[in-house]
Amino acid sequence: MTISRSKKAFLSIAIVITVAITTGFIFINQESRDFKFTKSIDVYISLMRELNAFYVDEIDAEKLVNKGIDAMLSSLDPYTVYYPEEDSGDLDFITTGKYGGFGSLIRRSGDYIVVTNVYKGFPADQNGIRPGDEMISIDGTSLKGIASEKASDMLKGEPGTEAVLVFRRNGEEFTKKLKRERISIPAVPYYGMIDSKTGYIRFTNFTQNCIAEVRNALIDLKDKQGAESLVLDLRNNPGGLVNEAVEIVNLFVVPGLEVVSTRGRAKQYDAVFRTNRNPVAPDMPVVVLINRGSASASEIVAGALQDFDRAIVIGERSFGKGLVQVARPLSYKAQVKVTTAKYYIPSGRCIQAVDFSSRNEDGSVGAIPDSLIKTFSTRNGRPVKDGGGIIPDIVISSDMLSRFSSELYVQNMIFDFATEYFWSHPQPSTLDSLKLNENDIERFRMFLEEKKFSYKTSSESALEDLIATASEEKLYDDNSKALEQLRAGLSHSLDRDIILRKDEVIELIESELAGRYFYDAGMIKHSLARDSQVKEAITISSDRERYASLLRGPAI
């Protein structure tokens, strides 16, 4: 069937008109967006001019603009952040793990700043600074009443510069002149064998070249220490550089596999990341540990190894951060870390929580309606879901502390007692010889009495609320005898608490002391023997039949 010339002409005109109308709408929409953007900027500048000229008091324009920027960005997502020139070092630390300083961590305690940790081999450690030391002043400026964030800024600086610091230890002051160095936080603070066949790597951040630390640890465990399986611990690893995550996955899988892709509105940031090297351990059984603090690049590693059916994932649902950030330069050396895309792992699922604004109090992913969750498949056909983070193959909750032990920790009783113990006891010959005895526990009980340690149990707090409500409703007098009997029954004593929670208290104190005597590596190693998630990882990795069955797809 042929089409007449008139009909062809009509169709041609119709197509041209349709294209013109569509293009016109696109131009109109684009012009509308551009106009709104220009208009908004103009209004903002006009507002600042008016405030600067007519506000009743003199304004701090820089402070006002910074607050406005922070408020504006907070309406987008939690990860798009503005860094003025003076804070640009914070962004460098996030991406590199390096900063100019003395190699210590601090917090506010009472009127002054207290050292909470020192990194082995750096200036603070080399000059004998230890956790528990109070920091009184820096370069003649008193730190009394200074916030820990400001004190941290005062301690940081260009490598090679010096500072004079005054400390107080056990009531006596001493002065140290410290030279700042380029501090590089280890990505692998500890690795070793946790039984005769199982290697363990604690991996804490995805900073530049962290792959070298992980690769070296893996090779040492496999080739020199005889590891036949591996536990890769990504718990509380906040993530970092995506290319480093791809390199970590590549340690265990062949080249040419797509590990992660990024997709967003600005196509210049769309990318596909594939493995390109021969793996170090292509056949070694691997168990990956994650929890609610495992985010971003950690989730890429755990999720990709899960999607490839290359590892068993154990622990708790991960944080759910699947957004890509890029640092963009601004005027006057300021920077913005802006979200440009989302991560998608091999199965096609997105790590990002569906609603990052509605999390639980502990930061974990909140409840997600089933209608918003999609199911994907691993290479072997195992079902995996999106909607927020990585769901482990075997879910095991973290070991929870009792209310008593939590209060000891929060009120710094464990930390302060460890400081006293450290200066009154010599260095143990080995980590295994670090053991508290009955005299140490009794001294701790007396220490708590001296510090007037007190707290309310959850039951006591609930009862206090009940009594208050009963009083408001005029019901207390009629029920006072029963309520007071209940109060007496629920009351606790320090002696009873220590007896009931003795093992837990000993573990907390010994763990803190392990860090004092043997640094971070000692603290990590000490914790492994009592870690229920690590125990399950060892069981799974050593049972080859069960390990294989968990990775096997559904029967067809």
User: For each of the chain's 556 residues, which pLDDT tens digit applies?
Assistant: 445 555 555 445 444 445 444 545 545 555 577 778 888 888 888 988 999 899 899 989 888 888 988 898 888 888 888 888 777 666 666 556 567 899 999 999 989 999 999 999 999 999 999 999 999 999 999 999 999 999 998 999 889 999 999 999 999 999 999 999 998 889 999 999 999 999 999 999 998 889 999 999 999 999 999 999 999 999 999 998 899 999 999 999 999 999 999 998 888 889 999 999 999 999 999 999 999 999 999 999 999 999 999 999 999 999 998 888 888 888 888 888 888 889 999 999 998 876 656 666 655 666 666 667 889 999 999 999 987 889 999 999 988 889 999 999 999 999 999 999 999 999 999 999 999 999 999 999 999 999 999 988 778 788 888 888 888 888 888 888 887 888 777 777 889 899 999 999 999 999 999 999 999 999 999 999 999 999 999 999 999 999 999 999 776 5
Which of 306, 165, 308, 307 lies closest to 234 in space, CA to CA?
Answer: 306
In a domain, 553, yes or no: no
| Number of C-beta neighbours around residue 15 at 10 A | 10
In a domain, 2, yes or no: no
Q: Are residues 315 and 361 in the same domain?
A: yes
Measured N-to-C along each axis, helices 210-219 and 242-250 cross at an angle, to the nearest 10 degrees, of 20
Residue 216: which H helix or E strand, with range? Answer: helix 210-219
In a domain, 527, yes or no: yes
Q: Are residues 527 and 513 in the same domain?
A: yes
- Which of 352, 373, 398 is the last residue before a domain boundary? 398
DSSP strand pairing (286-290 vs 312-315)? parallel
Q: Are residues 490 and 391 in the same domain?
A: no
Q: Are residues 345 and 478 in the same domain?
A: no
Q: Are residues 171 and 147 in the same domain?
A: yes
| Cα 273 from Cα 245, distance rounded (Å) | 10
**Digit-coded pLDDT (tens) for 40-87:** 888 888 988 999 899 899 989 888 888 988 898 888 888 888 888 777
- The token pair that represents 217 in the structure block: 């640890």
Q: Are residues 477 and 513 in the same domain?
A: yes
In a domain, 386, yes or no: yes
- Which of 184, 208, 230 is the last residue before a domain boundary? 184
Among residues 321, 337, 364, 405, which one is catalytic?
Answer: 321
Report the CATH number at residue 224: 3.90.226.10
Beta strands in 330-466 (DSSP E): 335-344, 375-377, 383-385, 394-395
Q: How far is CA 429 from CA 152, 433, 507, in A?
A: 34, 7, 19
Q: Are residues 421 and 471 in the same domain?
A: yes
Does the annotation count 454 as an active-site position?
no
Which of 506, 490, 488 lies closest to 498 in space, CA to CA?
Answer: 506
| Cα 234 from Cα 232, distance rounded (Å) | 6
Predicted pLDDT of residue 96: 61
Q: Are residues 346 and 439 in the same domain?
A: no
Range of the domain at 232: 190-398
In a domain, 542, yes or no: no
Report the CATH number at residue 125: 2.30.42.10
| Coil/strand/helix, residue 336 | strand
In a domain, 552, yes or no: no
- Alpha helices by DSSP H, 85-179: 88-96, 123-126, 148-155
In a domain, 10, yes or no: no
Q: Are residues 362 and 427 in the same domain?
A: no
pTM: 0.83
Beta bridge partners of 183: 99
Among residues 307, 386, 520, 531, which one is catalytic?
Answer: 307
Predicted pLDDT of residue 516: 97
| Cα 455 from Cα 411, distance rounded (Å) | 10
Among residues 104, 229, 294, 296, which one is catalytic?
Answer: 296
Query: By the 8 A CB rule, do 127 and 178 touch?
Result: yes
For the chain, how many structural domains are there in total?
4
DSSP strand pairing (271-274 vs 258-263)? antiparallel
- Which of 376, 398, 420 is the last residue before a domain boundary? 398
- The torsion angles phi and psi of 382, rounded to 5 degrees, stand at -75, 140
- CA–centroid distance for 510 within its chain: 24
Predicted pLDDT of residue 16: 46
Query: By the 8 A CB rule, do 537 and 197 touch?
Result: no
Q: Are residues 497 and 380 in the same domain?
A: no
Q: Are residues 339 and 299 in the same domain?
A: yes
In a domain, 246, yes or no: yes
Q: Are residues 164 and 243 in the same domain?
A: no
| Cα 499 from Cα 511, distance rounded (Å) | 19
Does the annotation count 184 as an active-site position?
no
